[in-house]
Amino acid sequence: MGKARYRKGAHTVYDIKYHLVWVTKYRYRVLQGEIARRARDIIRDICMQHDVIILKGHVSRDHVHLLVSAPPRLSVSDMMQYIKGKSSRKLQEEYPTLGKRYWGQHLWARGYFCATSGTVTDEMIAAYIEHHEKPPDDVFTVSDEAQ
């Protein structure tokens, strides 16, 4: 990915990336052919509506992987609720055959995997804070000017 590409909001500058994975209910392999392509298009539309940029993604037969850049105002749980809820509803409306497998109106299994990704590691942040000023041996310090 190379150099960080910071995004800007009205009062923020940010680089927040998430690796997201979720699976079909019962791990049924229903995401194939036209249904997989339509799932991809629906997920793209939902992400665009919420200012989420898909950096990389893949629709497999029974799960979806996304690497996304998201604004700080949007929680991961809200983002996943939008993506899973709207895509499930639209796919089942457009493909009645899915209703035979998923009579309970849920295409996706409960839950999801999420990991953060970025250009700055925990160690880099800790080192920056530690060397910002010569602090005492405390993990949460106050600068001399602020005391």
Residues with a catalytic annotation lie at 128
Residue found by looking up tokens 């310090």 in the block: 141
Q: Which residue type is seen at 90?
A: K
Q: Of 85, 105, 81, 97, which Cα lies nearest the Cα of 30?
A: 97
Please measure the distance between the N-terminal and C-terminal CA atoms of the chain and give it in whole angstroms. 41
Distance of CA 34 to the CA centre of its chain: 24
